[in-house]
């Protein structure tokens, strides 16, 4: 395949860590629910080459194929390079004819069930605070682990809000889901063991975070922005 020569001839235009571009290609493709075969067809290359880019840490695609891949994945070359990594989401322009659509409870739960990073809003003696954290959904409830002296741990016993969202910069679309409910600490050994077994990831922040908190939803609402 012609593109396979590109990694050996690629210049420094790829930038950053050599594995970053492949990781971002795979992530964007998965966000779109697109197979390697479909991405390859849209980019005018082969599934084997897309797999090579995604899995080989030394892969360095040439500029031409990177442009085609960015177009196929409805994103930009800069995004695949990671040039927007330090920017807050939503810096793009709004679509010409956006439409705000209410999500059903079932749609909200489907989006929440993918786990990831959410935002916990709780009250503290110093006032309301919002903090990001890793979460999972177990038996319909939001669960997360934290440190005993961290802000999320103080939410146990309180009425809190928890929000998850996704922004598609390339298409100016996105969605958000908001949960309100009471948080409680999970202390039962069997329950803690089950949560640890089902956890998708350790907390990104690292450190000793062995306090589990569970939020039982009392209300769940969501919206998405679509483009006509």
pLDDT of 6 higher than 60: no
Cα separations in angstroms, 179 against 117, 182, 183: 14, 10, 11
Residue 84 banded pLDDT, cuts 50, 70, 90:
low
Instruction: Tell me the pLDDT tens digit for each residue of 214-227.
Output: 999 999 999 999 88
Instruction: Tell me the pLDDT tens digit for each residue of 151-165.
Output: 999 999 999 999 999
Which candidate, 208, 55, 225, places its Cα nearest to that of 145? 208
Domains and CATH numbers, the chain: 2-81 (1.10.260.40), 98-227 (2.30.110.10)
Which candidate, 217, 98, 210, places its Cα nearest to that of 164? 217
C-beta atoms surrounding 67 within 10 Å: 15
Mean pLDDT for 84-109 is 79
Question: Across the strands, what pairs with 212?
Answer: 145, 186
What is the pLDDT, as a whole number, of residue 87?
60
DSSP 8-state symbol, 83: T
Residue 92 banded pLDDT, cuts 50, 70, 90:
low
Are the CB atoms for 186 and 212 separated by under 8 Å? yes
Q: Parallel, antiparallel, or unpaired for β 127-138 and 116-124?
A: antiparallel
pLDDT of 12 higher than 50: no
DSSP 8-state symbol, 55: H
Helix (H, G, I), strand (E, B) or coil at 87: coil
Instruction: Tell me the pLDDT tens digit for each residue of 15-65.
Output: 433 458 888 899 889 888 899 999 999 999 999 999 999 998 778 888 888
What is the pLDDT, as a whole number, of residue 194?
94
What is the pLDDT, as a whole number, of residue 86?
62
Which candidate, 214, 116, 77, places its Cα nearest to that of 157? 214
- The residue ranking higher by pLDDT, 228 or 115, is 115
């Amino acid at each position: 395949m012609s593109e396979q020569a590109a990694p050996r001839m690629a210049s420094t235009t790829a930038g950053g860590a050599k594995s970053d571009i492949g990781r971002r290609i795979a992530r964007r493709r998965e966000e779109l629910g697109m197979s390697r075969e479909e991405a390859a067809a849209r980019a005018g290359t082969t599934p084997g080459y897309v797999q090579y880019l995604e899995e080989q840490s030394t892969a360095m695609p040439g500029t031409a194929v990177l442009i085609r891949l960015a177009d196929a994945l409805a994103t930009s070359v800069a995004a695949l390079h990671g040039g927007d990594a330090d920017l807050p989401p939503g810096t793009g322009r709004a679509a010409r004819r956006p439409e705000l659509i209410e999500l059903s409870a079932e749609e909200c739960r489907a989006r929440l069930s993918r786990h990831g990073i959410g935002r916990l809003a709780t009250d503290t003696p110093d006032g309301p605070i919002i903090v990001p954290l890793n979460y999972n959904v177990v038996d319909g409830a939001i669960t997360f682990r934290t440190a005993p002296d961290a802000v999320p741990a103080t939410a146990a016993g309180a009425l809190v809000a928890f929000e998850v969202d996704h922004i598609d910069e390339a298409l100016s679309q996105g969605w958000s889901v908001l949960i309100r409910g009471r948080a409680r600490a999970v202390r039962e050994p069997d329950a803690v063991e089950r949560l640890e077994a089902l956890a998708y990831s350790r907390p990104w922040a690292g450190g000793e975070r062995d306090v589990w908190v569970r939020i039982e939803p009392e209300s769940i609402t969501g919206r998405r922005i679509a483009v006509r």
